[in-house]
Chains A and B, each alone.
Chain A
Amino acid sequence: MSIASSFSPVDPHHVGHNNLALGMERDTPGHGEGGPAPKNVIVPYGFWIFLLSDIVMFSAFFASFQVLAGDATDAAPHFDLSNVAVETGCLLLSSFLCGIASLCANRRRLFGTEMFLLLAGILGAAFLTLEIREFVGLIQQHQGPADGAYYSAFFALVGCHGLHVTVGLLWLGTMMAQIFAKGFRQEILRRLACFSLFWHALDIVWVAIFSLVYLMRFAP
């Protein structure tokens, strides 16, 4: 297709709008002549933008942690790696089960959806319990957030992720109640899709945390 061959009053800047009116095939996917994109595309997309901005916020915490951790190698606490491994397993399995729940929801299976969401929630709660236990242990050893730059950065970063998981658990509970009470209506399915994105994104942040915060301590 010759793009700049002629000036057209219908599509003066050749952005692909109204290609059908010009008698050409449309070459840009889904824009222009079909009206705005449907809601079950726009809502998860908007939530995707929010998640990316959330990850940008986490990157600032990561940057400050890296800067402060590089300066304080002598003050590093002795992390329990097996505890971190169990936490990682809980969160990963929870994310996986949340995905299975959304597959069940696509097939409109009420019992399966609720069951897998419940299992994902239990594993998320187990993760949170382990994390809080670790935090309490550190604070008791006078390695709390007020005991030096390293610990401030550590608690800000890992605590912020823990806070996200807490909010996610609350959301998961309300999602289960909404699905139970209202059934698989379109807006409920959109909310479930957004929750599922949120839960998977938290797992991505945790991958960065266990690699860069915990395991990096043990790298020679």
Chain B
Amino acid sequence: MSQRENSNEGEREGDVGPGLELEGREDTARGLRSYLTGFALAVGLTAASFWAVRTHAIYGPGVSIALITLAIAQMGIHLVFFLHITTGPDNTNNVLALMFGVLIVFLVVFGSLWIMTNLNHNMIPMKMLMDMQR
């Protein structure tokens, strides 16, 4: 009972940490529903990704876009249903940190790809370079 009171004391303030759940009986039921929903959706999206590369139903060049879309969707499912990141006011800190992380990830990945593609484009083709060295 004292632990219960302690944790309620902890939730009195306006913020919650990521992945934290409440401890009542109905909260457990809600948590279980959340995990089951997340698991079902994640399995569905994974299956869709594997299906997308095997089927010929999708227009060829569209497959990679489908894969990226499905991957981002599945990451969102994991964040919402497994890590319990919500849009509620008690989650503002978690969401802000996440958004900053996502910004850095996009800068690193797309910045690298952009710069390296551009360099590659401006470079003398490798075969020509080899011929010049002969």
Contacts and interface: CB of A to CB of B under 8 A. Distances in A.
Given A100-B32, A106-B28, A218-B53, A193 B17 contact: yes
Contacts of B14: 28-31
Which among B68, B71, B92 has the greatest number of chain A C-beta atoms within 10 A? B71
A49 interface: yes
B9 A38 contact: yes
A55 B21 contact: no
A215 B67 contact: yes
Interface string B33-69: 0010011001100100110111000001101100110
Would you call the interface of chain A mostly helix, strand, loop, or mixed? helix
Interface in B1-36: 3, 6-7, 9-10, 12-23, 25, 27-28, 31-32, 35
A62 B67 contact: no
A34 interface: yes
A41 B20 contact: yes
A204 B75 contact: yes
A26 B101 CA distance: 29
A103 interface: yes
Interface residues of B, number: 66
Interface residues of A, number: 64
B10 A40 contact: yes
Interface residues of B, dominant DSSP: helix
B97 interface: yes
B28 A107 contact: yes
Nearest to B113: A66
A208 B71 contact: yes
A106 B82 CA distance: 15
Contacts of B27: 106
B109 interface: yes
5 contacts: A41-B16, A52-B98, A56-B101, A92-B39, A99-B31
Interface of B: 3, 6-7, 9-10, 12-23, 25, 27-28, 31-32, 35, 38-39, 42-43, 46, 49-50, 52-54, 60-61, 63-64, 67-68, 70-71, 74-75, 78-79, 82-83, 89-90, 92-94, 97-98, 100-101, 104-105, 108-109, 111-113, 116-117, 120
Given A63-B113, A186-B6, 11 more contacts: A38-B13, A44-B17, A48-B94, A52-B98, A56-B104, A63-B109, A89-B46, A96-B82, A108-B3, A207-B78, A215-B50
